Amino acid sequence: MEPTKSHPCFSYQCHPTTGRIHLPVSPKCNIGCRFCGRGINSHMSIPGNASRVLSPEEALDLLERALILCPELKVAGVAGPGEPLAGPEALDTLIKVKRAYPELITCLSTNGLALADSLTRILEAGIETLTVTVNAVKAEILAQINAVTIIDGQALKGLQGAKALLEAQERGLRLAKEKKITIKVNMVLIPGINQNHVDEVAQKVKAWGASLINIIAMIPGGAFKNITTLSDEELNEARAIAGKSLRPILHCARCRADACGIPGVSDYAKELYQNLPQTETFSHG
């Protein structure tokens, strides 16, 4: 079966029946989003949060337990708590997963900065679906959202950092498309910054190779903690605009980086993590 048809984050039809697990193995990030609210905790039900960071070996052990708890589990992915391609941990993990459980769909979410350079190992991990966050396609808008882009240990700020990230995202999406990887773009919508930029983003990422788009209302945090989030009406309007270019995703549950179970139906994360020790927080670098 085509992987997107049996992946709950890509298909509305299987969303209420198919289990997925996010393995939190990524401790670092290579960009600094001004709305970032990542952290190590067991209570914040938002992306970028996890009870702890696992090693690839620990993740494989956890997955074995998860498959017993949730027989409906079909997807193993990495969505944080940091950026999955900012270090080797995510792909080390997913390569191990694919070797041990070839029947599982493997996937990851990324900001796309290191996507092009990671494609060989992405293919080794059997990844056929990617989620790439693209919040703007104009550097002057992205610079308002992204405070820093870290390349080879150098912190690029302002327009320089935004341009570097956009160039990397375009190159990565185009190359991933050439490799027949299905790409879903996430766009975090921020009132007063990129709210009127949806149509342009949707058209541009389609040209780069995306086939689906997920418009997400920003959860206030970080430097943007005082910005009021979008209303449901505003969000639906943005999704309709994006839908003129790409198939919109309307069922995103904005899951934690250690989610496990059937989205909105079952949650096994607490059972999996309750006896595991805490670890360090994620970091930029």
Q: What is the pLDDT of residue 275?
A: 63
Q: What is the pLDDT of residue 1?
A: 47
Q: Residue length, the chain?
A: 285
Q: What is the pLDDT of residue 16?
A: 63
Q: What is the pLDDT of residue 107?
A: 92
Tens of pLDDT, residues 238-272: 999 999 999 988 756 666 778 888 876 678 777 88
The CATH code of domain 3-284 reads 3.20.20.70
User: Burial of 154 by CB count in 10 Å (0-12 exposed, 13-18 middle, 19+ buried)?
Assistant: exposed
Rounded distance, CA 232 to CA 213, Å? 17
Alpha carbon distances (Å) from 171 to 30, 112, 165, 208: 17, 9, 10, 8
Closest by CA position to 227, among listed 235, 236, 237, 218: 218
Q: What is the pLDDT of residue 13?
A: 56
CA 217 to chain centre: 14
pLDDT along the chain (285 residues), means of 10: 60 64 92 82 65 90 91 89 94 96 94 97 94 97 96 95 98 97 94 95 97 90 86 92 90 71 75 65 51
Cis bond upstream, residue 220 (ω within 30): no
Closest by CA position to 109, among listed 39, 183, 213: 183
Domain boundaries, given as residue ranges, for the chain = 3-284
